[in-house]
Amino acid sequence: MRAILIGPPGSGKGTQAQFIMERFEIPQISTGDMLRQHVSEKTPMGTQVKIIMDSGKLVPDDIIIKMVQERIKKPDCSKGFLLDGFPRTVKQAEALAMAGVQIDKVIEIDVPDDEIVKRLSGRWTHPASGRVYHTTFQPPNRAHHDDVTGEPLIQRDDDKEETVRKRLAVYHTQTAPIVGYYQRLSLRDPQGLPNVIKINGQEPPLVVCEEIFRFLA
């Protein structure tokens, strides 16, 4: 089973990825992790990547595709894999297909923008300990203050509403169209692959998980 999990930031992809990995015994392949590993191990590809990243440029798709191809040949991918953070654009999805990487399942976790903003912009953090609170779901005893130390909480830039909405705009423009690409691909494929499903991410995590499991079974 070779699957891709798609959804906006704050949709619960990380939680569902863990459920999928444990249930189906497949690895989660993170392109970010692969890049960091190649750089840290100073492989020939890692040396090339480091030069590109140090110059402030994006790592080209062909290098990412090559890393994915190498990764999925490893023994732990014998039962399949779950792609995380790639592809991010239709162009990358097309490059993946051109490289012969077959995708069987595409799961889109759908959550309205206003709900995402509510989830993310309500988060406040105690910087010293890393404790996280939420104004709606897990409020501190005293507004904007840590329960343990009483120290002020901060809101990370990534969690501010303006930033969240910008991230959502990028998702809708660049990543969400991938779903349509795979739907069109399935219509042309003799076996109807990949299978594509949209799941309501506003349901409780375990309900979402059960629906994903039924789809992947």
In the set 91, 142, 156, 166, the catalytic residue is: 156
Nearest-angstrom CA–CA distance, 8 and 111: 7
For the question of residue 119 being annotated catalytic, the response is no
123 belongs to the catalytic site:
yes
Write the single-letter amino acid at 114: D
**Residue 156 a catalytic site member:** yes
Q: Which of 13, 71, 105, 118 is catalytic?
A: 13
Report the 10 Å Cβ neighbour count for 49. 21
Query: Please, are residues 116 and 201 in contact by the beta-carbon 8 Å criterion?
Result: no
Which residue among the candidates 36, 50, 131, 167 is catalytic per the annotation? 167
Structure tokens at 211: 């629906």
Pairing of strands 28-30, 105-110: unpaired
Calculated CA dihedral for residues 183, 185, 190, 195, nearest 10 degrees: -40
Among 88, 131, 165, 198, which one carries the catalytic annotation? 88
Query: Does the annotation count 131 as an active-site position?
Result: no
Residues annotated as catalytic are 13, 88, 123, 156, 167
